[in-house]
Amino acid sequence: MDQIKIGKFIAKCRKEKNLTQSQLAEKLNITDRAISKWENAKSMPDSSIMIELCELLDITVNELLLGERIGKEKYFEQAENNLIELQKYIENQNKLQINLSYIFRITSLIVDFVFAFIILFGTIDTLSEIILIITFAIVSFICLFTSSHIELLIGYYQCNKCGNKYIPNKDFFSFSMQIGSKRYLKCPKCHKKSWNNKVLTK
Ligand SMILES: [Zn+2]
């Protein structure tokens, strides 16, 4: 999917309809900043808004995703290509988010080390030590919670015993052991505990 082409296409169709960014935004009940972001290829319209946007611009969702008008004879061929492209786009976005969750996790580890170092080897009074420990606990918790939350939103875990792909239970997930992209989880299908691999697609 070519975001730059899509952005230019949105701008072109909007101008053909004699609409300013703010007028289009108003019709869609969103901010004109969002329109500007689409047109500058910084983001894509949400799925919830795509149909309404296409109706306003007098184009099909297919044409929107391709970034140009399609003749009737090419329509179905292009529809299939667009579906594949869309799936690739989603997979890439998922990879980005997973990497983000690892960054949070690594940040939390670094924070742990720095704090442990200060508490063990620094010459600080008891009050400072208590403040440090509390701050340390909060920062670590936020990092771990955020990264777990992102991970839970994306993809599945695959059971090492039976191959079942599933989304783990949220509470259990937060407290499970983790090494890299593997987690020690109990499979809901075969009920066996094993190191489960993170997979992005089912
Ligand atoms: Zn299993």
Q: What DSSP assignment string belongs to 8-51?
A: HHHHHHHHHTT--HHHHHHHHTS-HHHHHHHHTTS----HHHHH
Is there a contact between 61 and 54 (Cβ–Cβ < 8 Å)?
A: yes
Question: Where are the domains positioned within the chain?
Answer: 3-70, 93-154, 155-202
Query: pLDDT of 14-70, one tens digit each?
Result: 999 999 999 999 999 999 899 999 999 988 898 889 999 999 999 998 899 989 988
Give CATH for domain 3-70. 1.10.260.40
| Average pLDDT of the chain, as a whole number | 86
By the 10 Å C-beta count (0-12 exposed, 13-18 middle, 19+ buried), 117 is classed as exposed
**How far, in Å, is the centroid of ligand 1 from the Cα of 188?**
7
**How far, in Å, is the centroid of ligand 1 from the Cα of 182?**
15
Residue 10 has pLDDT above 90, yes or no: yes
Q: Identify the three-state secondary structure at position 200.
A: coil
Residues in the 5 Å CB sphere of ion ligand 1: 159, 161-162, 164, 187, 189-190
**How far, in Å, is the centroid of ligand 1 from the Cα of 194?**
8
Query: pLDDT of 158-186, one tens digit each?
Result: 999 999 998 887 766 667 787 877 888 88
**How far, in Å, is the centroid of ligand 1 from the Cα of 87?**
27
